């Protein structure tokens, strides 16, 4: 049974934040993942980031958020958390993304991630993307 069926809801996207390549790999296994497969600078990516900023404190309150790559710079004062591996064999797109986005877990960088459970159509021009009025 799929998670959505078990919860009796229609889940289309899963979002989170991580600096751990093992966690990022799990998002890639789910489906198309922003910002690894597609940057947040696309029309759909900007809409997703807007919704996250409106509803998720970890995104809204990020000290230094790169709006193209979703990198929260120096977010963790401890630097790299736990026993996070530097890379994962067989997943070069994660290494490539970390290099392209200049992600440095040792400096406390973490990445905002959104994985799609199904195809997502781009928003209509001028459509409300979920922000609260007055934002």
- What is the DSSP secondary structure assignment for residue 8, as one 8-state letter? T
59 within some domain? yes
Residues in the chain: 135
Three-state secondary-structure class, residue 35: coil
pLDDT band, very low/low/confident/very high, at 67 (cuts 50, 70, 90): very high
Domain range for residue 81? 3-116
Average pLDDT, the chain: 81
Q: What is the pTM of this model?
A: 0.76
CA 44 to chain centre: 13
In a domain, 81, yes or no: yes
pLDDT in tens, 86-124: 667 778 899 999 999 999 988 999 999 999 987 655 555
- What's the token pair of residue 122? 């781009």
Read off the pLDDT of residues 33-54 as tens digits, 9 standing for 90 and up. Answer: 999 999 999 999 999 999 999 9
| Cβ neighbours of 97 (radius 10 Å) | 22
Q: Which pLDDT score, from 0 to 100, does residue 90 have? A: 75
Any domain includes 133: no
Domain assignment present for residue 134? The answer is no
């Amino acid at each position: 049974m799929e998670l959505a069926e078990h919860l009796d809801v229609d889940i289309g996207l899963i979002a989170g934040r991580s600096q751990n390549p093992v966690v990022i790999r799990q998002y890639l296994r789910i489906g198309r993942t922003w910002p690894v497969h597609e940057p947040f600078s696309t029309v759909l990516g900007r809409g997703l980031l807007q919704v996250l900023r409106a509803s998720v404190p970890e995104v809204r309150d990020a000290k230094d958020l790169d709006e193209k790559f979703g990198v929260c710079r120096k977010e963790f004062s401890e630097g790299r958390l736990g026993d996070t591996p530097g890379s994962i064999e067989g997943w070069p797109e994660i290494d490539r993304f970390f290099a392209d986005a200049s992600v440095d877990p040792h400096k406390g960088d973490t990445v905002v991630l959104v994985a799609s459970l199904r195809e997502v159509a781009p928003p209509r021009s001028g459509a409300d993307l979920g922000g609260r009025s007055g934002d």
